[in-house]
Structure formats: structure tokens, C-alpha cells
Amino acid sequence: MTVMSGPITELRDGNATIAVFRSELKHLNETNVAIIEQKLMELIETLPFPILILDMQAIEFFGSSFIETLFRVWKKLNTHPAAQFGISGLQPYCREVLEITHLDKIWPLFKTNQAAVKSLGCG
């Protein structure tokens, strides 16, 4: 199932929901980060299972405001029992930001959505 919701396309793979960031978002700035956060929070409310993968293949840049959004989304998701969260498809700069800040120790990073689904055991 595919649902388009503004800047995010929602896909289902087994029990996982994959939030695909659309290509027009290349650079996440203060303006579109607020919209992204709202959409992700709404999405969490409707998840059939608390398993969320963010497909960020289209994103070339994000800053600290998006990292704050990731924390808020992760925290909200974790209010559900058995919640799982992962990030896939990161471009080199974005992956480096998460690794330098050691956030890759909190959130698993995957090259592909398929790897995320397989690793999280929700396929």
C-alpha cells in the first residue's frame, strides 16, 4: 500500500511502515522540518504496528533542527510497546552527521529499506 501525504510517501512492507522523504525535500530547513515533524507525528498515530523506517535517500542536507525532530518522533514512537525505528538510504553527508554525533548508536542505519525490514524482523 502506498499513501502520498505531502512531502512524505508512506509505504507498507510486512509490519513496517516506511516514510519515504520525497525528492523535493533535498535540503531540510527550518520551514520544511516543521511540516515533516507534523506529518511524521500524524503517521505514528495511525501505524498498524509501531515499526517505522525513515527512507531518507532523497535528502542531501539536514541540520540540528531535523535531529531534534528525529528525537521527538523516536520518543513518540517509543510510547508504544515493541516499537522499532530505523533510518535507511542516507546520503554520505547525512550519514556522517549521525555517526559523528553518535546517534547511529541509538538509531540503526541501513543502506536500503529491504535491509531495514529484514534486520528489524518485520518483513
Is residue 43 a contact partner of residue 10, using CB atoms and an 8 Å limit?
Answer: yes
Answering whether pTM is above 0.95, one says no
User: What pLDDT, on the 0 to 100 scale, is given for residue 7?
Assistant: 86
The tens digit of pLDDT for each residue in 95-120 reads 999 999 999 999 999 999 999 999 98
CATH number of 2-120: 3.30.750.24
Is residue 112 a contact partner of residue 89, using CB atoms and an 8 Å limit?
Answer: yes
Model confidence band, residue 8 (pLDDT cutoffs 50, 70, 90)? very high
For range 63-79, the mean pLDDT: 95
CA distance 87 to 108: 6
Say yes or no to pLDDT of 123 above 60: no
Is residue 112 a contact partner of residue 4, using CB atoms and an 8 Å limit?
Answer: no
